[in-house]
Amino acid sequence: MESAFAAFGTVGYWNTTMAQIAQDCGVTRAGLLHHFATKESLLAAVLEHRDEVNRMRFFDGSQEPRSNPRDFLERMIALVEHNASQPGLVSLFAVLGAEATHPNHPANGYFHARYESVRSWIGAALEALADAGQLRDDSDPVRAAIELTALLDGLQIQWLYQPTVIDMPAQFRARVNEHLLDPLG
């Protein structure tokens, strides 16, 4: 998984070969194929593993934003902060996210669903805050969720170019706080 993660994040899905990953792991291509029958299944496993690790680490296995929306947004910021210590992870998602816009890319469905989920989670948290009278009147939860999701991707790409200049968690927190009556700490 680690070798595939590194390869996909460095040269992208299209330019990564199973032979290369097998060599990086010190196994034969046949040995790798025993565990992952196709490159597509390996990619899916890498992406699913990353999501599960983050779900457990930052959201205690659940990503229910409505029950405690402020806590959910704080956990999102903690995830962004963690990503700022993981250049390989950020690169993987930047490279694959761009590649996967092609409808024939095996991760196209994953990224489509991922963007829908992230927008939905952020939107649900903001809607819950609006229902509780904690969102600014001029903030639209749906539009804000789209913008915050786009901001995350843009910050990640800029951070890859200038990690000492771009402070992803601070920028994300500041933008989230612009929507809240009582800013997060």
pLDDT tens-place string over residues 117-134? 999 999 999 999 999 999
Q: What is the pLDDT of residue 47?
A: 84
The per-residue pLDDT for 40 is 87
Per-residue pLDDT, 49:
85
Tell me how far the alpha carbon of residue 78 is from its chain's centroid. Answer: 12
Query: What distance separates the 2 farthest-apart alpha carbons in the chain?
Result: 60
User: Which of the 8 DSSP states describes residue 62?
Assistant: -
Q: Write down the domain spans for the chain.
A: 2-177
CA distance 54 to 82: 10
Q: Cα–Cα distance between 137 and 120 in angstroms, integer?
A: 20
How far apart are the C-alpha atoms of 39 and 34, rounded to whole Å?
12
> Is residue 63 scored above 80 in pLDDT?
no
Give the pLDDT confidence score for residue 96 in this predicted structure: 85
**CA 169 to CA 60: how far, in whole Å?**
20
Supply the angle between the helices 108-131 and 141-161 in degrees, to the nearest 10.
Answer: 130
- The pLDDT score that the predictor gives to residue 87 is 87
Cβ(24)–Cβ(111) under 8 Å?
A: no
Question: For residue 21, what is the enclosing H or E element?
Answer: helix 18-25
Task: Identify any residues that bridge with 180 across adjacent strands, giving them in sequence order.
Answer: 135
User: What count of residues does the chain have?
Assistant: 185
pTM exceeds 0.75, yes or no: yes
**How many degrees, rounded to 5, is the angle at CA 89 between CA 161 and CA 172?**
65
Query: Are 181 and 134 a contacting pair, CB within 8 Å?
Result: yes
Averaged pLDDT for residues 75-103:
89
Tell the CATH superfamily of the 2-177 domain.
Tetracycline Repressor, domain 2 (1.10.357.10)
If you average pLDDT over residues 99-106, what whole number do you get? Answer: 90
